Amino acid sequence: MAPPVLTREDVLHVARLARLELTEAEVERFTTELGAIIAYASEIQRVDTGGVTPMSHASSTETAWREDAPEASLERARALENAPDVAAGLFRVPKVRG
């Protein structure tokens, strides 16, 4: 049997970097699950891609797109119509506390 790709200490190190507190059960589970993900990524790295043209997009950039042209926007009153709280013609939202 091959040695584990990811050790318990690796998981604890990553958890510490991410400031996560993991239970013992979670450490064991993530050691197995993340190890499997890393092993699969290593397997994919071995695939011969020599004859494959590099891509910059997942889909063809030759797809027919509509021309980017300015259009009339939604009227303010219509945009605010279903807002739960409006003040001075604007959406009113709770203060964000940092």
What CA–CA distance (Å, rounded) separates 2 from 91? 58
Residues 12 and 23: their CA atoms lie apart, in Å, by 10
Whether residue 22 is contained in a domain is answered as yes
- How much is the pTM? 0.49
45-92: per-residue pLDDT in tens?
999 999 988 887 777 767 667 788 899 999 999 999 999 999 999 999
CATH assignment at residue 13: 1.10.20
Give domain status of residue 26, yes or no: yes
- 55/28: higher pLDDT: 28
By mean pLDDT, which of 8-12, 41-45, 64-68 is the weakest? Answer: 64-68
- Does any domain span residue 20? yes
What distance in Å separates the CA atoms of residue 29 and residue 65, rounded to the nearest whole number?
A: 45
Residue 92 forms part of a structural domain: no
Residue 41 covered by a domain = yes
Domain count, the chain: 1
Please tell me the predicted confidence (pLDDT) of residue 2: 59
The domain containing residue 12 runs over which residues?
8-45
Answer yes or no: is 17 within a domain. Answer: yes
